[in-house]
Structure 1
Amino acid sequence: MFGAIGILVTIGAVFGGYALAGGKIGVILHALPFEMMIIGGAAVGSYVLSNSSDVLKHTLRDIIRAFKGPVWTGQDHQDLLCLMFQLLRLGRNNPVELEEHIENPETSEFFLAYPRILADHEVVSIITDTLRSASLNYDDPYQVEDMLTKRIALIKDEELHVAHALQSMADALPALGIVAAVLGVIKTMSAIDQPPEILGKMIGAALVGTFLGVFLAYGLVAPLAQRLTAVKKHDMSFYEVIKSVLVAGLHQHATNMCVEVGRQSAPEQVRPSFISLENALRDIKRAS
């Protein structure tokens, strides 16, 4: 919603200001399709050339993601903490029964209670792999924390590939605009025998290329890349919450304290309140 508003405000301010200043929109509109073909086509071609098939496959999905915003909500963070509480408590009371849940999460009553979490393979994998390692005596808190940090860093690099590719495109667009402008100047020079009013329109059309390259770069593509980066990093905090709870658990803190450590590691805008989480945990204790 806000992304679409931002685009409309940017376009309206630039072209509206130009028109109010006495500029002729017709000159831009006449040259726009051809300049867009040169600049946009070169940008897309360069994007395809410089990126892997995985990045290309995920580009449209991630652009939509940038407009939709973060996946994980405050309720999801509370659900995650409740799930971690149940797993840690069971692991301390009955390690053998815990193995059934981590080996088959798709049939676990704990995981099934939170379908949005269960649907994310990476989240489930981090939880189950770490608990499985702990059950096999790989339970040094510092080693596990280092392992999780490296794993999350790898996920982060993969998740930000599209954002980095879009930023690279934004960096290239002004230069591609100059390419389009130079081609326009070449066209103008080939018609040097034409009257000044015709040459003026041709030069104006050539300069549209420079304008379009800079406008697309700094008005649209670069902000989109920054927005996507912010959304991805926001969602990556979900993994940090998991890491905080698991590491606290390996330090043998009380289960409630482990969950509180995870709660406080969540971003403020999606962090469940202490009272809300406490009530949810109380309901779980009563039901068990």
Structure 2
Amino acid sequence: MIGIVGIGIIFVMVFGGYILAGGKLGIILKSLPFELMMIGGAAVGAFLISNDMSSVKHTLKDVGKVFKGPKWKPEDYKDLLCLLFELIRLVRQNPVAIEEHIEAPAESSIFSKYPKILSEGEAIGMICDTMRSASMNYDDPHQVEEVLDKRAEANLHHALHSSHALQTMADGLPALGIVAAVLGVIKTMGSIDQPPEILGKMIGGALVGTFLGVFLAYGLVGPFAAKVKAVVEEDRHFYNLIREVLIANLHNHSTNICIEVGRQNTPQQCRPTFADLEDALKATKQEAA
């Protein structure tokens, strides 16, 4: 919602100020379709050249994050802590019993309680792979931590590709606006024998290209790239929480301490209070019993 409000403010302030200052929209509106075709078309073409099809699809999908915001909400962090509590508690009580859950999470009675987390392949993969490694006596916390760090770094690099692609487009738009403006000047020079009032309108139309390139770059595409990056980085906290809890488990801390480590590493705006989490964990224990 705030993204839509921001876009509305940009258009109202820029064009509203122009109109209040005595500017006429006629020249802009007349030139806009052609300038947009040249600038926007060239930007899209350059985007397609510099990215493969999977990256293009990924970027188009990630544009929705500008309006949707982070995927993981406060209740999801609480659910994640409860899920990890159940898994760690089970593996401490019966190491063999955990295998059916981590080998087939889609059929697990524990994972199925948390459908949103279950639908996220990356999160489930981190949990199952790390617990599987621990069950194979690959339990050196420092080795596992290094593996998880490399995995998180690779996932973050992939997730930020959309932001980088949009920022690259934003960086090129002002130059493409100049290209469109130069073409407009060339067109004007070809009509140099026309009266001044006609030449003035033609020059004004050419300058729309420069305006449009800069406006799209710094008013829309650039902020879109920044927002996508911010959302991706905020969602990364969810996976960092998994890492912290599982590493604490490998250090043989008590189950409650492991979960408290995760709670403390939850972003403040999404962090459940100690009392709320304690109530949720008690409910989980009673349901398991």
Relative to the length of structure 1, the TM-score reads 0.99
AA in 2 matched with 1:230: A
- The aligned counterpart of 2:259 is 259
AA in 1 matched with 2:206: A
Secondary structure in structure 2 of the residue aligned to 1:152:
helix
- The aligned counterpart of 2:279 is 279
Partner Cα separation in structure 2 for residue 153 and residue 23 of structure 1: 50
Tell me if structure 1 keeps the 8 A contact 2:82–2:281. Answer: yes
Matches within 5 A, 1:58-77: 58-77=58-77
Shift of the alpha carbon at 1:95? 0.2
Shift of the alpha carbon at 1:286? 2.4
Tell me if structure 1 keeps the 8 A contact 2:177–2:211. Answer: yes
- The aligned counterpart of 2:138 is 138
Partner Cα separation in structure 1 for residue 191 and residue 232 of structure 2: 51
Tell me if structure 1 keeps the 8 A contact 2:59–2:165. Answer: no
- The aligned counterpart of 1:182 is 182
Partner Cα separation in structure 2 for residue 45 and residue 188 of structure 1: 26
- The aligned counterpart of 1:56 is 56
- The aligned counterpart of 1:199 is 199
Partner Cα separation in structure 1 for residue 56 and residue 233 of structure 2: 20
Shift of the alpha carbon at 1:58? 1.6
AA in 2 matched with 1:271: R
Shift of the alpha carbon at 1:264? 1.1
AA in 1 matched with 2:102: I
AA in 2 matched with 1:56: V
Shift of the alpha carbon at 1:282? 1.2
Deviates more, 1:267-276 or 1:11-20: 267-276
Partner Cα separation in structure 2 for residue 234 and residue 190 of structure 1: 53
AA in 2 matched with 1:176: L
- The aligned counterpart of 2:213 is 213
Shift of the alpha carbon at 1:285? 2.0
Is 1:97–2:97 an aligned residue pair? Answer: yes
Secondary structure in structure 2 of the residue aligned to 1:14:
helix
Is 1:244–2:244 an aligned residue pair? Answer: yes
Partner Cα separation in structure 2 for residue 226 and residue 25 of structure 1: 30
Partner Cα separation in structure 2 for residue 258 and residue 118 of structure 1: 21
- The aligned counterpart of 1:82 is 82
Partner Cα separation in structure 1 for residue 283 and residue 41 of structure 2: 57
Shift of the alpha carbon at 1:36? 0.2
Shift of the alpha carbon at 1:59? 2.1
Deviates more, 1:179-188 or 1:277-286: 277-286
AA in 1 matched with 2:271: R
Figure out how many residues of one structure are paired with residues of the other and give that number. 288
Per-residue CA deviation, residues 8-55 of structure 1 (Å, 9 max, x unaligned), is: 100110000000000111111111000000000000000000011111
Per-residue CA deviation, residues 240-283 of structure 1 (Å, 9 max, x unaligned), is: 00000000000111110100111111111111111110111111
Is 1:229–2:250 an aligned residue pair? Answer: no
Shift of the alpha carbon at 1:122? 1.0
- The aligned counterpart of 2:164 is 164
Identity %: 60
Partner Cα separation in structure 2 for residue 181 and residue 71 of structure 1: 41
Shift of the alpha carbon at 1:100? 1.1
Shift of the alpha carbon at 1:65? 2.2
Unaligned runs of 5+ in 1: none
Shift of the alpha carbon at 1:170? 0.2
Shift of the alpha carbon at 1:202? 0.4
Unaligned runs of 5+ in 2: none
Partner Cα separation in structure 2 for residue 3 and residue 222 of structure 1: 13
Shift of the alpha carbon at 1:125? 0.7
